[in-house]
Structure 1
Amino acid sequence: MTTDDETTGFDPEGDLDAAALDALKAENAALKDQALRYAAEAENTKRRAEREMNDARAYAIQKFARDLLGVADNLARAMQHAPTDAADPLVKNLAIGLEMTEKELTAAFERNGLKKIDPAKGTRFDPNFHQAMMEQPSDEVAGGGVIQVLQAGYELFGRIVRPAMVIVAAKGSKGPEAPEGHGAANPYAAHDEDAGGSVDTTA
């Protein structure tokens, strides 16, 4: 029994010269490369869309969070003047209630990615996280270090919502060398170009 190829005398490989075969192989390789490129581009587009969607979700509450900072500030001020050792049980209970409310508000902030920036005394001033309200000489903090926090700052998933407002030790101030740190709970927080003003702290 003979096949159609034997009848017609067609030999797929024999009838193709080397040049035509090479051209087909090259075309096949080009199509394969193109398919891989399209697949990679589709994957990159998918990842980019997912990242943008996650960012949109993450920062959708940013304005709401910023509005709540005023509530947190007022609560902190009330806490500073609350007489926790008052003899009157009603006043003492009010102070305890303020403290519990402040703790719960802070916990709610952290559960939703909003973390406080509250640098310790002596921390080196960082314009990415701090805003210098003034400079003054200090015998306890080296030049360029934070002397006092006037208002705590906050970051939302690493993005600055509000820089910490601080008083900075002036040039020539004596004290131990200020350590690095911005007082935020997130160690890999991204810097925000709009956060905090800078001062010249070069000794």
Structure 2
Amino acid sequence: MSDDKNKNETETPETAENLAETLAAEPAGQGEARDAAGPDAAAGPDAAMLEAEIAELKDRLLRVSAEMENTRKRAERDKADATRYAAANFARDMLQVADNLRRAIGTLKDDERAAAAESVKAMVEGVEMTERQLLSIFERHGIREITPQPGERFDPNLHEAMFEVPGTEHPAGTVVHVLEGGYMIGERLLRAARVGVAKAEGAATGGNVDTTA
């Protein structure tokens, strides 16, 4: 046993000396870096996963925010359209009143008695004033007239051809006669103008209206 004790006492200084030499041979700062990075180095993969999850959550948040903004804008647009076009059916019915006023004016002006009877002239002025007031109310509510003038090109988006007129001074496919005026409400067609269109020379009777722009 004394031999083992002596052996340990002999080897201990050599082991301590070897450890000291190993630490001395290690590059400066490597030990401190290893100690500082020890816990984090093991957690490296977990940190990368957390960063990926955070990036995904941010992307989802941005998408949800964009969708909510689009939904809000659509709701505002639908509300504005509902307010603007809510009275479309009522306005369409009121167009008949405007038509009757215009017909009355035309009849009174064409009456041979209009030149002699002051009462008829006063009636004409009163009806014309009523028509102007009605059109002013229409405009205030976003309704405007789009009645074409004779000679204007027929527009299938705004006009409805009721018949063709042969042998006119106007080019084929242009408006010759207006039966009823057309109207828009906002950006929508409330009623197409009903018109007669100049017929192309040599076209067969009863053929389709030439609406080529």
TM-score normalised to structure 1 length:
0.75
From 96, 101, 114, the equivalent of 1:75 is 101
Give yes or no for the alignment of 1:149 onto 2:178.
Answer: yes
Q: Secondary structure at the match of 1:14?
A: helix
- Aligned position for 1:92: 121
Deviations 1:87-121 (A, max 9, x none): 44332222111111111101110110111121122
Cα pair 2:172 2:198 within 8 Å, conserved: yes
Matched residues in 2 for 1:65 and 1:160: separation?
12
Look up the equivalent residue of 1:104 and give its one-letter code: Q
Deviations 1:109-168 (A, max 9, x none): 011011112112221111111111011224422121111111111111121121101111
Q: Secondary structure at the match of 1:81?
A: helix
Kindly report structure 1 stretches of 4+ aligned residues shifted beyond 3 Å: 9-13, 15-18, 83-89, 198-203
Look up the equivalent residue of 2:126 and give its one-letter code: G
Cα offset, 1:25, TM superposition:
1.4
Cα pair 1:154 1:162 within 8 Å, conserved: yes
Structure number with greater Rg is 2
Question: Unaligned regions of 5+ residues in structure 2, if any?
Answer: 1-34, 203-207
Q: Secondary structure at the match of 1:123?
A: coil
Question: Unaligned regions of 5+ residues in structure 1, if any?
Answer: 1-8, 174-197
CA pair 201-55 structure 1, distance change in 2 beyond 3 A: closer
Q: Which has the higher contact order (CA 8 A, sep 6+)?
A: 1
CA pair 11-201 structure 1, distance change in 2 beyond 3 A: same
CA pair 200-87 structure 1, distance change in 2 beyond 3 A: closer
More helix per residue: 2
The percent identity for this pair of structures is: 46
The CA RMSD over aligned residues, in Å, is 2.7
Q: Secondary structure at the match of 2:40?
A: coil
Give yes or no for the alignment of 1:128 onto 2:154.
Answer: no
Deviations 1:51-80 (A, max 9, x none): 111111111101100110110000001111
Give yes or no for the alignment of 1:140 onto 2:180.
Answer: no
From 128, 133, 138, the equivalent of 1:104 is 133
CA pair 126-16 structure 1, distance change in 2 beyond 3 A: farther
TM-score normalised to structure 2 length:
0.71
CA pair 92-148 structure 1, distance change in 2 beyond 3 A: same
Q: How many correspondences in the alignment?
A: 171
Matched residues in 2 for 1:103 and 1:148: separation?
22
